[in-house]
Structures are given as C-alpha cells and as structure tokens.
Amino acid sequence: MEYETVELDDKDDALVIIDQTKLPGKTEIIRLKTAQEMWDAIYLLKVRGAPAIGVAAAFGIYLLAKQIDTSDYSTFLAEFRKQKEYLDSSRPTAVNLSWALKRMEKIVTDNGDKPVEEIKQLLKTEADAVKAEDIRVCKTIGEFGLTLVKPGDGILTHCNAGQLATSKYGTATAPIYLGEERGYHFRVFADETRPLLQGARLTSYELHSSGVDVTLICDNMAATVMKNGWVNAVFVGCDRVARNGDTANKIGTSSVAIAANYYNVPVYICAPTSTIDMNTATGADIHIEERPAEEVTQMWYRERMAPEGVKVYNPAFDVTDHSLIAGIVTEYGIAREPYEESFREIFARKENAEHD
C-alpha cells in the first residue's frame, strides 16, 4: 500500500484519493476540486469506509471553504453551511460523514470574531487533525483487538474495513496488520461482499499485497468455514453504532453474525468512538441507504444477468442486533453488554484523555 487513501494537496486545492471503484485491476489516483466531484466520489464509493469518508469530508469542506470569496463572516458562514449540507447528503448512513462536517462547522461558529482568512487556516489545521487522529485511533483499535485473539487463529471479515477504508491500518484489519508485524500468522477469510465486492476487490487485494495469509470466499460460504472450525473470531467494521449497541454495516454483516452466533464464534465490531451515535437509540432508528438496481443485475457482468424489469431490492447496509455482538472495540477500550453503560464509560475515558 504505497499510496495514501486520502490526502490533501493544499497548493493545488485538490482532495487526492485512490479511485476504489477501479481496484484491483487499476490503481488510479484522482484529484477532486469541486463540490460535485467530492459528492460524486463519496456517493459512487470512489472513497468509502466510515473513517476515510470522514477524512475526505474534512479536507473537502476545507477546500470548498477556501473557494468562498468574501471577507464578510455572515456571508462566509451561510455559504459554508450550504456546502456542508450538500456534502452531508451523499451518504446518509455513514455517521463519520456528518461527524466530520459538524466538527469542521464548529471551527467556523466558534471563531466568528476572527477574520475569514484566519478561519480558513483553522479549518486546515482541524482537517489535518482529523486525519492524524484517524491513524492513531486505528492503531489503538488494533492493539485492543489483538488481545481478543491468539497466534495462528482464523479470522473472518466482511466488506472492507482495512487501510483503504481509513488513513492507515484500518479498523477491523488493524489487529490483523499488527499481528502480521508481530508474527501471529493469522489465517484470514475475506467474504467477497456482494453486490459491490469490496471484500474481493479491496480486502483480499490489500491483505494479499501485505503478505497476509488470506482466503477469499463467497458470502454464502461463511457458515461453512465456521462449521469446519476454521474461524476463531469475526472482525468487522461499521458505519454507525446505536446507543444500545446495534450496528449498521455493509449488507451481509447481520447474516455473518447470525451464523457465527450459531457456531459459537465471537463477533467483534471495530468502531472508532466517532462512529458511536448516542443520539440514535437502536438500529431501528438508523436510515438505511438503498442503491441502484444495476449494482445487482449487471454491474460486474459482461452482459446483464437478470431479466429486464425484474424488481430489485438493494440496501447498502443491514443492522446487526447487539445480542449477536461479543464486543465493540474502540480506541478507548472494548465495550460489552450492557452497551449504553459501557459506551458512557468509554466516552468518560475519552474526555479524561482529551483533558490530560
């Protein structure tokens, strides 16, 4: 992984990303300069994964703020909020998108007494901080996750919560990468993750490139490898965690958790605290994005593989019930049932750490 997933070219006023829709066949670096290009990149999954989306949003809104040509604070704030709301509409389920944009907006609202040009520089500093924190958070999640497994274990993961979904290390793959560095020699099973094949195109690509022992399987093979005794733990990421511990992640995650529960394989959700939404009571309150039918019927085929006009249901995410989850791994420790109480303890640790 010689390229940055998301980076800022401040001199050229560009958000620079790997176009993940082209992987693994082609590594294409694209430069985004307009609000439309940034919105499309997030919606079309050119950049994806909750942490990476948050970093892209922070850099993106900074660049858009740089383009606002006014010295009047009220005019600047109104245009900033217009651009913020536009970017926020691209992926409604991913809480890191709105989290990063709100964090950037707070810089603007907290510094209304300063010149607009100074506010723009403060936005740059904050966006850089979002990325630096993402790298630190992922490594710390990896350290906590590593305590849940032992050398030689089999680990199953779904979708891509790896380096391509973050700035570095990933969330669900962070224990795998750290284990590889320390000679744990995990055996990893990566679900292909229909219909967009993030597991096949991205997870198997990055793990294989890094020398990890990874085996790609179809989604409907997960229960079989668990039955065979080849899986000791499931590590997955997520896009939003509700207050009660329900988690929204890529479609198919719930099926993996149900099978794992049956075969007594623990399921661990790797989630930075920015993904925990204490304002969302349960998974039933999480908005689930539906995506175009073409992703199912023809996107990866040379010719259409379903009849014209057939109805298609294509939710991007599903919700895994908290009762199926053995623990939620954050950068401030591992949350367990009852989750609401555990989350409050974790946020207290976070607040104490930030004040130290």
Is 142 within 8 Å of 184 (Cβ atoms)?
no
Count CB atoms within 10 A of the CB of residue 117. Answer: 10
Count CB atoms within 10 A of the CB of residue 53. Answer: 29
Going by C-alpha positions, the residue among 276, 278, 260 that lies closest to residue 268 is 260
Count CB atoms within 10 A of the CB of residue 297. Answer: 17
* Per-residue DSSP letter, 11: T
* Per-residue DSSP letter, 140: H
Find tokens 């690509």 and name the residue: 205
The rounded distance, in Å, linking the Cα atoms of 295 and 312 is 10
Say how many residues make up the chain: 356
Write out the catalytic residue numbers. 239
Tell me the DSSP string of 62-104.
HHHHHT---S-HHHHHHHHHHHHHHHHTS-TT-HHHHHHHHHH
